[in-house]
A and B are shown apart, each in its own frame.
Chain A
Amino acid sequence: MRRYISIFFFGAFMCMLSFFLMSQSKKPGLAAQNKNLPRASLERGKKEYAEQCLSCHQVDGGGVQNMNPPLTKTKWVLGDKTKLVQVVLKGMKGETEINGDIYHNVMAPHSDLTDQQIADVLTYVRNSFGNKASAVTPAQVKSVRAVTK
């Protein structure tokens, strides 16, 4: 019996330790990122992400199986910025295959966001959840918007 009690207390201690370590490991976020990125844009992008994107793409950017695409390790996010900006402006419909998985859910157009807001949120997404890519600027969004119907 005493053995079980000591195992329990040891287990409880290790639980607390693991929670501590997990909470630590979640922190790096913005601070650890590329110094060349516009820090203010990242901060605003984080807020924008929580408002506009998080409920579908989730806290960790991992999306939802069969429904909402992940924003990690995908050319949709890390590749051509023009296409990425267009997804935000026009939304997405229909089945989309990403890394062998099919995603179904509709993404609403977000053309009501300003060039700055779109630049912020995309810069944030391209540099979060393990992603590392160059910033998106409001000027780039503006030029894509001009030719996107």
Chain B
Amino acid sequence: MKKFSFWLLQLAIGICSFSFSACAGDTTRVGDKPGIGTGADKESLQLPAGFGAVIFAEGLGQARHLAVTSNGDVYVKLQRLKDKKGIYRLHDSNGDGKADEMTGFGNYIGTGMAIKNGYLYASSDEEVFRYKLNADNKVMNPDKPEKIVTGLLRRGEHEAKAITLDNSGNLYVNIGAYSNACQVEDRSKGSPGMKPCPILDSAGGIWQFRADKLNQSYGEGIRYATGLRNVVGLDWNTATNTLFVMMHGRDQLHDLFPDLYDTKLSAELPAECLYELHKGSNCGWPYIYYDQIQHKKILAPEFGGDGKKTAGEDAQDPVYAFPGHIAPNGLLFYTGNQFPEKYRQGAFVAFHGSWNRAPEPQKGFFVAFVPFRNGKPSGEWEIFADNFAGSPEMAASGRANHRPCGLAQGPDGSLYVSDDAKGTIWKIFYKGK
């Protein structure tokens, strides 16, 4: 009987997903056409009308950030070595939309991946390297990168060194705070917050380095912005000529302060914030958090807050606030012409998906979009690409098939999304109505 109900369940789930696709009027389901994917992967993304997607590559494991060359090759950074390699170049030689050549190099794990002025930049959790690209955008000396930055702190929490570059020869590196809320004892109930927070001198911010100078560390870099708990998604916005970052907001308001926050409120708060940074920016962590329900900067409870007291007059406001804990791991300002007018100059955000909403249902596991005009958000956010988790139930349980992490734009204006649960890379394109 048990076995029978198991198979019935399998059948029901199969038919369930079919019936969803049959009645989803404004959503294009893709990914299971012949010639796309391996045929084994029947999962499909949900996209707005007129958009399609192909699986460009899969099986890469923990695929973090990625970058696309001018001839459409993809470089992707892995957080776990695959066949002893931490970076892969993916090339589609026959133009069928799927990478058929995979070349690995680099013996270190990490997150950051960017291309600028003929170089591929890659980060480990402590360093940033760069590799010269040839005319075909191939790495010339895969075993001899130049070490641009070294000796950054890695203390086991928020260790990813996400990177981006501007158009003036600067490299920006996230150095995440190795703490949740800068308590004396991290994540311990009753342990007070430290003021001033000693972490902020060497972490909890974005550091600026020269993109072409070797062996820089804290002494050669500039703490460009502070009060940022952890940033994984960041991008240089060429329309405003400024750096934008998505901060991962603090965890565990209910665990640490059950009298002030119930589990429902703790699942929503604080916001995941988009900030526009300038040299000297301060975003307020750990002393405050942004409450997207009250639209206020609230004094963190570790520093005497009660969920209502405002603070952080010296800290800047976010330019946009998303629901809590959904984990923004990729940010991309769209500069292509392929997507419809609405998407141009707007921000795509890859939400890795939550864990800190439990016991409430988990959320995230999608790519969101916020429209921008004149350098400011011009409308509400919406889900652009969904169903990375595999089903609403898998998203709610947090046991997602795929978790969106990196975003990159191809030379034709397509959007690439990486997944660090299984290592799938999708190419999303606009087909027209």
Q: Could you name 21 residue pairs across A and B whose Cβ atoms are closer than 8 Å?
A: A11-B19, A14-B11, A15-B19, A18-B13, A21-B5, A21-B9, A22-B9, A25-B5, A55-B255, A58-B355, A59-B358, A64-B355, A65-B403, A66-B79, A67-B355, A104-B156, A106-B156, A108-B185, A108-B186, A108-B189, A109-B185
Chain B residues 182-206 with CB under 8 Å of chain A are 185-191
A34: min CB distance to chain B, Å: 19
B230: min CB distance to chain A, Å: 12
Is the CB–CB distance between B15 and A11 below 8 Å? Answer: yes
Binds B, one of A2-10, A114-122, A132-140: A2-10
Chain A residues whose CB sits within 8 angstroms of the CB of B191 once the complex forms: 108
Is the CB–CB distance between A55 and B9 below 8 Å? Answer: no
Is the CB–CB distance between A14 and B186 below 8 Å? Answer: no
What range describes how many residues of B lie at the interface?
Answer: 35 or more
| Bound-state Cα–Cα, A107 to B252, Å | 12
**Which of A8, A18, A54, A94 counts the most chain B CB atoms within 10 A?**
A18
Is the CB–CB distance between A108 and B187 below 8 Å? Answer: yes
Query: Which residue on chain B has the smallest CB distance to residue A50?
Result: B359
Number of A-B contacts (CB under 8 A): 94
Assess whether A97 is interfacial by the CB under 8 Å rule.
Answer: no
Is the CB–CB distance between A12 and B399 below 8 Å? Answer: no
Chain B residues whose CB sits within 8 angstroms of the CB of A21 once the complex forms: 5, 8-9, 12
B264: min CB distance to chain A, Å: 13
Chain A residues whose CB sits within 8 angstroms of the CB of B393 once the complex forms: 22
Is the CB–CB distance between B187 and A106 below 8 Å? Answer: yes
Chain B residues whose CB sits within 8 angstroms of the CB of A12 once the complex forms: 19
Is the CB–CB distance between A104 and B159 below 8 Å? Answer: yes
A76: min CB distance to chain B, Å: 17
Chain A residues whose CB sits within 8 angstroms of the CB of B403 once the complex forms: 65
Is the CB–CB distance between B355 and A7 below 8 Å? Answer: no
Assess whether B16 is interfacial by the CB under 8 Å rule.
Answer: yes
A115: min CB distance to chain B, Å: 19
Complex interface bits, B406-431 against A, C-beta within 8 A gives 1, otherwise 0: 00000000000000010000000000
B353: min CB distance to chain A, Å: 10
Instruction: Identify the B interface with A (CB < 8 A).
Output: 5, 8-9, 11-13, 15-16, 18-20, 22-23, 62, 79, 156-157, 159, 180, 185-191, 252, 254-255, 258, 355-356, 358-359, 393, 397-399, 403, 421
Complex interface bits, A93-115 against B, C-beta within 8 A gives 1, otherwise 0: 11100000000111111001000
Chain B residues whose CB sits within 8 angstroms of the CB of A109 once the complex forms: 185, 188
Chain A residues whose CB sits within 8 angstroms of the CB of B255 once the complex forms: 55
List of 8 A-B pairs having minimum Cβ-Cβ separation, nearest first: A11-B19, A18-B12, A108-B188, A14-B12, A64-B355, A14-B15, A15-B16, A106-B186
Is the CB–CB distance between B12 and A7 below 8 Å? Answer: no
Chain A residues whose CB sits within 8 angstroms of the CB of B397 once the complex forms: 59-60
Starting from the known contacts A4-B22, A67-B355, A104-B156, 13 additional A-B residue pairs (CB-CB under 8 Å) come to: A7-B18, A8-B22, A14-B16, A14-B19, A54-B358, A55-B254, A55-B358, A58-B355, A59-B359, A65-B403, A93-B156, A105-B187, A108-B187
Chain A residues whose CB sits within 8 angstroms of the CB of B186 once the complex forms: 106, 108
What range describes how many residues of A lie at the interface?
Answer: 35 or more
Assess whether A128 is interfacial by the CB under 8 Å rule.
Answer: no
| Bound-state Cα–Cα, A50 to B399, Å | 19
Is the CB–CB distance between B157 and A104 below 8 Å? Answer: yes
Is the CB–CB distance between A62 and B399 below 8 Å? Answer: yes
| Bound-state Cα–Cα, A90 to B126, Å | 28
B22: min CB distance to chain A, Å: 6
Complex interface bits, A79-99 against B, C-beta within 8 A gives 1, otherwise 0: 000000000000101110000
A102: min CB distance to chain B, Å: 8
Chain B residues whose CB sits within 8 angstroms of the CB of A22 once the complex forms: 9, 393
Query: Which residue on chain B has the smallest CB distance to residue A18?
Result: B12
Known: A54-B359, A64-B398. A11 touches B16 (CB 8 A): yes
**Which of B8, B62, B393, B398 counts the most chain A CB atoms within 10 A?**
B398
A87: min CB distance to chain B, Å: 14
Partner of B156 from A14, A55, A94 at Cβ < 8 Å: A94
Is the CB–CB distance between B355 and A68 below 8 Å? Answer: yes
A52: min CB distance to chain B, Å: 8
Known: A7-B18, A8-B22, A12-B19. A17 touches B358 (CB 8 A): no
| Bound-state Cα–Cα, A54 to B187, Å | 14
**Which of A12, A24, A65, A93 counts the most chain B CB atoms within 10 A?**
A65
Partner of B16 from A18, A55, A60, A104 at Cβ < 8 Å: A18
A15: min CB distance to chain B, Å: 4
Chain B residues whose CB sits within 8 angstroms of the CB of A108 once the complex forms: 185-189, 191
| Bound-state Cα–Cα, A11 to B23, Å | 10
| Bound-state Cα–Cα, A104 to B413, Å | 37
Chain A residues 1-52 with CB under 8 Å of chain B are 4, 7-8, 10-12, 14-15, 17-18, 21-22, 24-25, 50-51
| Bound-state Cα–Cα, A68 to B156, Å | 12
